[in-house]
Structure 1
Amino acid sequence: MENQEIPNLPPVISQLDDQTRVTFYKKTYAHLAGAVLLFILVETLFFQIPAIVELAISLTGGISWLLLLGGFMLVTNYAEKLALKSDNVQAHYAGLVLYVIAEAFIFIPLIFMAVVIADGGAFNILYQAAILTISLFTGLSAIVFITKKDFSFLQSALTIGFFIALGLIIAGTLFGFDLGLWFSVGMVVLASGSILYQTSNMIHKYHENQHVAASLGLFASLMLLFWYILSILSND
């Protein structure tokens, strides 16, 4: 998610005093943790409603899957715009909640597949994927904070990478070929770059009142990483 420059906003976080920066970071990561907890709650609720599970699974084949991905991209784009509205706190939270719900819905087929493949050991797979995701996310975030480097130069590479990935997903869906393990590995690398980029944005691009938007960007990258790590473990 790109930060939008809005006139008459205070300086970016890197230009503020230490106490203000620490407060901003605490708010951002608290909202990120809240988004993760909300995701777990919503996902659990979805799996208690067979009609929702059946609907999500029915959309995983052929054109339906592409339409679902397209709808997901439209919803998440709208959510990101809401989260960046500096004059409306309610819109910030509405955007974050909307994004979390969209993520929870699109994760249903993958988690369902993990449950079926695990044959009773689904918790172990989900637990392993979560631990690996959190560990990698923490390590990458630490790199940004320790080096204080601005990783905005990754934007072009990430954009190209995501377009290539989207093209491969569309081709694989239309022509019926499996993208395989190496595609998932490549997406883990891409998600890792996105975490570096979003964490760097939190420090160098966002303003003091944009902690919700910053948490949304981090959440999006975190969930992308979790998706492909879970995909790798489910197909192991």
Structure 2
Amino acid sequence: MSQLDMSTGQIVANAAESERANFIKRTYVHLAGAIAAFAVIETLLIKSGVALSFMGMLSGSKWSWLIVLGAFMLVSTVANNWAHSGISREKQYMGLGLFVIAEAIIFMPLIYMALVRAPDGHLLQNAAIVTAALVAGLTFTAFSTKINFSFMGRFLMIGGFVAMGLILASIMFGFSLGLWFSGGMILFAAASVLYSTSNIIHEYHTEQHVAASLSLFSSVGLLFWYILQFFMSMGDD
């Protein structure tokens, strides 16, 4: 087990240019790896029939989805704590891996429904293209302006609580949040991507590339989720 001393790292923005570039490269390589692993796991879950069984379980009771969401939030907290661990690199990777698996499971119903509606996969492809384009633009904004967007944290936290309240209410009382909610959440998720991207420069230490990649992966996943939901809601309308 490789022991770490996180106190020896320094804020990325204050590091030497070569060290800063190396950190950013490692972060985005890990992000790409997490996305690839997510795609592989999701494909296996869909093709193995696990997703269909999962959909059957969720349709049995409205409380099933609440239990799944609660479990996801708990696992995400554990994974994030592990990824930020200063004890060992292995524990950081365990956190990232755990979060990727949790994301793949929580995405199963949405991916499955998207494939049922469009077996050729064009809904997923279009959502992925739009997500990639937005992430590229937001990343360019964060790096080119060099503005510290950490001030957005409190607003994102409040917005997150409001969104979660609406989601829980929709599950409990059985109403649809619709196209406008998905559109609003796309803006929220885009702000989250910008915030996370800014943080890897201004808030993270040079030895925290695994935790930084998890943060970015979470934000990109949220953006993809609501872009895909938006496209599916447009089809309904």
Return the TM-score normalized by structure 2: 0.93
Is residue 201 of structure 2 the alignment partner of residue 168 of structure 1?
A: no
Please give the root-mean-square deviation of Cα atoms over the aligned residues, in Å: 1.4
**Residue aligning to 1:222:** 220
- Residues 175-229 of structure 1 show CA distances to partners (whole Å, capped at 9, x for unaligned) of 1110010111111111011111111110011111100000000000000000000
- The Cα offsets for residues 98-147 of structure 1, whole Å up to 9 and x where unpaired, read as 000000011110011111122x33x1111100000000011001101000
* TM-score normalised by the chain length of structure 1: 0.93
Question: Which structure 2 residues correspond to residues 1-236 of structure 1 after superposition, within 5 A?
Answer: 8-59=7-58, 61-118=61-118, 120-121=119-120, 123-236=121-234
Deviation of 1:57 after TM superposition, in Å, equals: 4.7
Q: Is the 8 A contact 1:32 1:215 kept in 2?
A: yes
**Contact 1:141–1:199 at 8 Å: present in 2 too?**
yes
Runs of 4+ in 1 over 3 A off after TM superposition: none
Q: One-letter code of the match for 1:204?
A: H
**CA contact 1:195–1:221 (8 Å) conserved in 2:** yes
Q: How much does 1:233 deviate? A: 1.1
Q: 1:229 to 1:57 in 2, by over 3 A?
A: farther
Identity of matched residues, %: 46
In structure 1, stretches of 5+ residues that fail to align are 1-5
Runs of 5+ unmatched residues, structure 2: none
User: 1:35 is matched by which residue type in structure 2?
Assistant: A
Tell me how far 1:55 sits from its aligned partner.
Answer: 2.2
